Structure 1
Amino acid sequence: MSTQTQTERREPRFAHSVGLVAGREISTKLRSKAFVISTLVLMAGVLVSVVLSSLFGGQEGPTKVAVVGAASEVVAAAPTLEGVPADDLDAAEQLLRDGDVDAVVAPSETVAAAGIETTAPAEASELADLTVIGLDQQPQGVMGALAAYPSAAVLDPAPVDAGLAYLVAFGFGIVFFFAALTFGSTIAQAVVEEKQTRIVEILLSTVSARALLTGKVLGNAALALGQVVAIAVIAILGLAVTGQQILLGGLGISVAWFIVFFAFGFLLLSALFAATAATVSRVEDVGSVTMPVMMLVMIPYFLIIFFNDNPTVLAVMSYVPFSAPVGMPMRIFLEQAAWWEPLLSLAILIGTTAVALLIGDRIYRNSLLRMGARVPFMEALRGR
């Protein structure tokens, strides 16, 4: 009975301690003007980039489309389209391949007779007997300008536009890089400052080292995840308001997966930042001791920037725990990942995170009260 009573008392005390530490981390950060301003600037930058992509991505004049037969009358009724007459479908296709027009609008019967595979309209309309043909992607802008639901076809299908793929890769990379590095460095700095000023000795008289570490990690993880979610919401709202539904539809599921992967990836890295920082006693030594962890943040960023169009590199990145938060969402966006791959990659990441938390906890507890010279990692692990 006594053992059970002690256990029942100890568990809520640990949870309460973690909550206090996490709350302290969050409130301290939210009271920081630098943090609030940097967050607002980052969110404003995301919103501005979305708006600018809409403004500069649009056409200044009417979109030129090749028209075949009776399609000319329908195109003439669309103010944002300029019809270029073509004698037949072959001539219209040649105009499209030469870049003289952005799409072809032709009767569905003519397209079917040419053996071009089409996508059925989303719903019945008076334009269901017309087909809009794009070169490598469905010309959504032209289809929207017709204010109806014609069939669609693509001559030379391409998975994703190369420029768009680069922008998405850059977005995933910079968000992970910025958030992990900023909050990870904050955790490391706080650990050493508390140790150097001996505040940690006061804290440890109230809470356990494990609760202190857990609270720091969870508090900063909540802030980082909240920042990422806010950026995602701003980007999605911006895309929706500016009418970029095509990009919005393709990004939705990959952004959702990115948030999930980021949550566990940040826990992994933050535990390592806290553990490595606990082995030194001076703020001046934080940079050198946390450099290996910083490299684990930087490498995925540079890999995704330089090799976003390399399926082999992306495949490897999507299974390495430190780069999976960037690599796997990118593969999902490019439609290169089978349905089971994100689940397998996430399982590997969660397992690695659990191991890192256990190792980080041991190093942190065994190093926190040791002052003076840097504590070797093996000694911290052994607890000597």
Structure 2
Amino acid sequence: MIPTQSTASAVWLVAEREIGSKLRSKAFMISTGILLLVALAGVLIGGFASKTSTPDAVAATSQTASVVRALPNVTVTEVGDRAEAEKLVLDEKVTAAVLPADDDPTGVVILAKKDAPSSLVMGLSQSPQVEILQPATTNSLLRYLVAIGFGVVFLMAASTFGATIAQSVVEEKQTRVVELLISAIPTRVLLAGKVLGNTVLAMAQILLLAAIAVVGLIVTGQNEVLAGLGAPVLWFAVFFLFGFILLASLYSAAAAMVSRQEDIGSTTMPLMMLVMAPYFLVIFFNDNPVVMTVLSYVPFSAPVGMPVRLFVGEAQWWEPLVSLVILLASCVGAILIGAKIYENSLLRMGARVKLVEALRG
């Protein structure tokens, strides 16, 4: 057995090799740059689109000014009488005028040159009183967008770096490089280094995306959304870290069971389904509290499900802690199983190694 210091050094040496090979890859750097630009564009476009439009300039007398000022997105120009209001409307200095009208049920009349602003008409229309028994904690569209955001980031990072690990393992087997590597370091050290290196890269990408999202929200003036996303984003980073380690261990083990690049899909497809299924479930059932509660405790969907529930205020303070404990236990189990499969399959060339054989050794 090699000393602990030497083991740590060997793990980091393998991790550095994984990180360096990716950073030297033009394809990886270009794809990362495109991903960051797309994320920034998405945040900016969504932010500017959600900002309030230019306020409507509306003329009003002293009797109607208080009513008009209560409407959203309106600036009021107070006038003395109807003639002055008509002149402002005809000169297009205001979009409309609101004057008192005793013969109208609403008590007011709207003057417009051609078309009255629909928002003004709706705001002054009489509507029945509405009582909401179960008020929504957040805007449904915003909830959907947040679910998509967390889901896309997790799906892309997990699938991209999972595939990278799988290709690296098979490439080393196919070229027989792995025989030289494990003659110098233990098999589990090689596995740990691969997982560590790709985890560092994945977390760096996640942190860059988070920074871009923060900058985009600040630029577009969405401070309230940013304040609400703070804690969920931190929890997402924590859940993603351990969720990715779980997946990386399983991807490495699955790839070790084959000897050709063409066969990777046969062993990694189940893992891809485990990543994609929770993503689609969170997207489709983001407004279903029961389904979201279940998904926030399932290890493969917790990195997306729990942050979404935290953002909308449906999760109690202790729930992410319990979910994280479940994820950590699953992560330990995946590492132990993955290491056993990896160790028993790495030097077996030729036909695909069956799962039962890989577990038995």
Q: TM-score, normalised by structure 1?
A: 0.76
User: What is the Cα deviation at residue 99 of structure 1?
Assistant: 6.2
Partner of 1:51: 44
Matched, 1:181 2:127: no
Of 75, 78, 89, the match for 1:82: 75
Of 291, 294, 318, the match for 2:269: 291
Please list, as runs of the form range in 1=range in 2, the aligned pairs for 1:19-38 lying within 5 A after superposition.
Answer: 19-38=12-31
Contact 2:43/2:217 (CA < 8 Å) preserved in 1? yes
User: What is the Cα deviation at residue 80 of structure 1?
Assistant: 6.1
2:348 aligns to what SS in structure 1? coil
**Partners of 1:162 and 1:247 in 2: CA distance:** 13
State the AA in 2 paired with 1:235. A
1:262 aligns to what SS in structure 2? helix
Deviations 1:34-83 (A, max 9, x none): 11111111111111111112222233320699x9x99957987xx96335
Please list, as runs of the form range in 1=range in 2, the aligned pairs for 1:162-181 lying within 5 A after superposition.
Answer: 162-181=140-159
Cα 1:335–1:294 shift into 2, 3 Å = same
**Partners of 2:306 and 2:258 in 1: CA distance:** 35
Partner of 2:246: 268
**Partners of 1:103 and 1:272 in 2: CA distance:** 57
Of 360, 363, 368, the match for 2:338: 360
1:82 aligns to what SS in structure 2? strand
Greater alpha carbon shift after TM alignment, 33-42 vs 52-61 = 52-61
**Partners of 2:204 and 2:68 in 1: CA distance:** 46
State the AA in 2 paired with 1:82. T
Partner of 2:54: 61
**Partners of 2:153 and 2:100 in 1: CA distance:** 47
**Partners of 1:72 and 1:368 in 2: CA distance:** 79
Contact 1:64/1:102 (CA < 8 Å) preserved in 2? no
Partner of 2:95: none
Partner of 1:308: 286
Q: Give structure 1 regions of 4+ aligned residues with deviation exceeding 6 angstroms.
A: 73-76, 84-87, 101-104
Partner of 1:10: 3
Contact 2:64/2:99 (CA < 8 Å) preserved in 1? no
User: What is the Cα deviation at residue 268 of structure 1?
Assistant: 0.4
Please list, as runs of the form range in 1=range in 2, the aligned pairs for 1:1-384 lying within 5 A after superposition.
Answer: 10-62=3-55, 72=65, 81-83=74-76, 100=120, 157-383=135-361
Aligned residues: 321
Cα 1:12–1:315 shift into 2, 3 Å = same
**Partners of 1:80 and 1:211 in 2: CA distance:** 62
Contact 1:63/1:102 (CA < 8 Å) preserved in 2? no
**Partners of 2:123 and 2:8 in 1: CA distance:** 61
* Cα RMSD, aligned residues only: 3.2
Cα 1:157–1:19 shift into 2, 3 Å = same
User: What is the Cα deviation at residue 209 of structure 1?
Assistant: 0.5
Contact 2:165/2:252 (CA < 8 Å) preserved in 1? yes
State the AA in 2 paired with 1:170. I
Ranges in structure 2 where 5+ consecutive residues have no aligned partner? 77-97, 108-117, 125-129
User: What is the Cα deviation at residue 211 of structure 1?
Assistant: 0.6
Contact 2:52/2:73 (CA < 8 Å) preserved in 1? no
Cα 1:101–1:275 shift into 2, 3 Å = farther
Greater alpha carbon shift after TM alignment, 52-61 vs 271-280 = 52-61
Contact 1:21/1:219 (CA < 8 Å) preserved in 2? yes
State the AA in 1 paired with 2:307. P
Q: TM-score, normalised by structure 2?
A: 0.81
State the AA in 2 paired with 1:227. Q
**Partners of 2:75 and 2:189 in 1: CA distance:** 67
Contact 2:53/2:73 (CA < 8 Å) preserved in 1? no
**Partners of 1:241 and 1:201 in 2: CA distance:** 53
Cα 1:102–1:226 shift into 2, 3 Å = farther
State the AA in 1 paired with 2:49. F
Contact 1:276/1:289 (CA < 8 Å) preserved in 2? yes
**Partners of 1:64 and 1:230 in 2: CA distance:** 42
User: What is the Cα deviation at residue 176 of structure 1?
Assistant: 0.4
**Partners of 1:354 and 1:102 in 2: CA distance:** 58
Deviations 1:185-212 (A, max 9, x none): 0100110110011000011111111110
Deviations 1:124-159 (A, max 9, x none): xxxxxxxxxxx99xxxxxxxxxxxxxxxxx999431
Contact 1:232/1:255 (CA < 8 Å) preserved in 2? yes
1:177 aligns to what SS in structure 2? helix
User: What is the Cα deviation at residue 373 of structure 1?
Assistant: 1.2
State the AA in 1 paired with 2:24. R
**Partners of 1:245 and 1:71 in 2: CA distance:** 33
State the AA in 1 paired with 2:37. A
